[in-house]
Chain A
Amino acid sequence: QQQVKQSPQSLIVQKGGISIINCAYENTAFDYFPWYQQFPGKGPALLIAIRPDVSEKKEGRFTISFNKSAKQFSLHIMDSQPGDSATYFCAAQGPNSGYSTLTFGKGTMLLVSP
């Protein structure tokens, strides 16, 4: 059972365009939603994260939008650059009490064409 569904599997965007990756979850106990970026042959690295008490978080060209009622969250990359070409994973973690691990989506391979 996949607890975090991510789409699309792959995405091609022109330089300067907006890249949008979507994730949906079922478990209402999730309360932490990070996005990780992974370049080929490397380990993932945290890009940006959000908690459900806010609907949006922005860091530079990267924005997370969070819709708690729909149980969806998305990553927007503004002014996409060739250097953004990587695989992006959304993840979810919870509940707040006790200990829990990250559940990852299956990933989106982004290619930004020059």
Chain B
Amino acid sequence: DGGITQSPKYLFRKEGQNVTLSCEQNLNHDAMYWYRQDPGQGLRLIYYSQIVNDFQKGDIAEGYSVSREKKESFPLTVTSAQKNPTAFYLCASSGQGAPRFTEAFFGQGTRLTVV
């Protein structure tokens, strides 16, 4: 089945530790995104990538890093510089080109908790 796979579903991080969230898609989409979801805050964009080896900061990129070495993969690293990392993280992808208004497909999310 085509879709987006995020792993792990639950992740626990100790203070001062870096953790990496995985996101893989087999939809052949060019664009991929990372969003953070907090209760009552909606979805806030962390990073996005339009093409392999290129990515752009979103609204809340501080304390996060990404890479896009393959079209299918867009891992997110939550660094120790992120002071409040406990949240639900969502990865998404969308096609580009005509028609421009393409649906964004989301993964099932990773819930990160600092312990």
Contact = CB atoms under 8 A, between A and B. Distances in A.
Interface string A94-114: 001001011011110000000
Interface stretch (A36-44, A61-69, A78-86): A36-44
A89 interface: yes
Contacts of B101: 32, 49, 51, 93
Interface in B58-115: 58, 90, 92, 96, 100-101, 103-104, 106-109
Contacts of A29: none
B109 A104 contact: no
Contacts of A104: 35, 42-44
B104 A42 contact: no
Given A44-B43, A104-B43, A96 B90 contact: no
Given A9-B40, A41-B109, A107-B40, A46 B103 contact: yes
Nearest to A6: B42
B42 A107 contact: yes
B50 interface: yes
A101 B58 contact: yes
B109 A43 contact: yes
Interface of B: 4, 6, 31, 33, 35, 40-45, 48, 50, 58, 90, 92, 96, 100-101, 103-104, 106-109
Interface of A: 6, 9, 32, 34, 36, 41-46, 49, 51, 89, 93, 96, 99, 101-102, 104-107
| A-B pairs with lowest CB-CB distance, top 5 | A43-B106, A106-B42, A104-B43, A32-B101, A104-B42
